[in-house]
Amino acid sequence: MINKLVSTVSEAVSGVFDGATIMIGGFGEAGSPIELIHALVDQGAKDLTIVSNNTGSGEVGLAALIAHKRVRKMICSFPRTANSTVFPELYKKGEIELELVPQGTLAERIRAGGAGIPAFYTPTSFGTPLAEGKETRIFDGVTYVMENAIKADFALVKARSADRYGNLIYNKTARNFGPIMCTAAKTTLVQVQHFVDLGDIDPEIVVTPGIFVQHVVVVENPADESKLVAENRRYPW
């Protein structure tokens, strides 16, 4: 019998190892799997490469993981956001690496990683500092930049509902990077608010087919990151 449900977030992240590459869903706080990230802080894996659009805010969620010096390198498109202080401080001290990637290129590199495509050509970034040193090629008179796929050991994703096969639906703009990250990681860990019976999700509206998901954990009432930041909370509490 297939049942991807695990009972706790700590069980979900127990296999994460030092040096792992981890994709973390979310665009700002929308879709950020904050309880899974906190479980990863507790779990202790270090020397991580994190692929995520931003670098977290305050000292909770991804920012907490960075504050605890678990992250060697960030691959992201926008490392500065409101209330983002942890990453900038470490970056200025030279204690964390940054690979800056245009947002759409980041998405496509992840999509390609999940789709078995090692590299692709994109018009994005040609003629800018972010294309320096990269292979280019002309198609129909337009110059394109070659970009490599990104694959990960783990993906941490937040969705709204899952069944025991791991089929997922998301919530509004919290979907963002979730579906593509699920496809690009060897082990995808998903926190959901609702665990439903097989068949409860109409097959026509499944967003992530369960084949891309390894473990599901229920977090009924996920924390609201901006509230925690406003209250100056710091993880671990």
Partner 1 sequence: MVEKAELQGWDINEMAQKVALDIPDGAYVNLGIGIPEKVAAFVPEGREVIYHTENGLLGMGKTPEAGKEDPELINAGKKAVTTIPGACFFHHADSFTMIRGKHIDVCVLGALQVAANGDLANWSTGEPGAIPAVGGAMDLVAGVKTIYVITRHTTKTGESKIVKQCSYPLTGKAVVNRIYTNLAVIDVRETGLFVRELAPGISFEYLQSQTEARLNP
Which residues in this chain contact partner 1 in the complex, by CB under 8 A? 27-31, 77-82, 87-88, 91-92, 98, 100-108, 110-111, 122-130, 170-180, 207, 224-226
Q: Are the C-beta atoms of 118 and 146 separated by less than 8 Å?
A: no
Q: In whole angstroms, give the CA distance from residue 22 to residue 155.
A: 5
The nearer residue to partner 1, 43 or 124, going by C-beta atoms, is 124
Closest separation between CB of residue 140 and partner 1, Å?
13
Closest separation between CB of residue 18 and partner 1, Å?
26
Closest separation between CB of residue 54 and partner 1, Å?
9
The nearer residue to partner 1, 86 or 189, going by C-beta atoms, is 86
Query: For residue 178, how far is the Cα from the chain centroid?
Result: 7
Strand partners, 145: 122, 136
The nearer residue to partner 1, 6 or 98, going by C-beta atoms, is 98
Closest separation between CB of residue 138 and partner 1, Å?
14
The nearer residue to partner 1, 39 or 110, going by C-beta atoms, is 110
The nearer residue to partner 1, 146 or 198, going by C-beta atoms, is 146
Find, among 29, 95, 31, the residue nearest to 63 by Cα.
Answer: 29
Reading the block at residue 21, the tokens are 């590459």
Q: In whole angstroms, give the CA distance from residue 91 to residue 82.
A: 16
Reading the block at residue 32, the tokens are 């950020």
Closest separation between CB of residue 59 and partner 1, Å?
18
Find, among 156, 175, 176, 159, the residue nearest to 167 by Cα.
Answer: 159
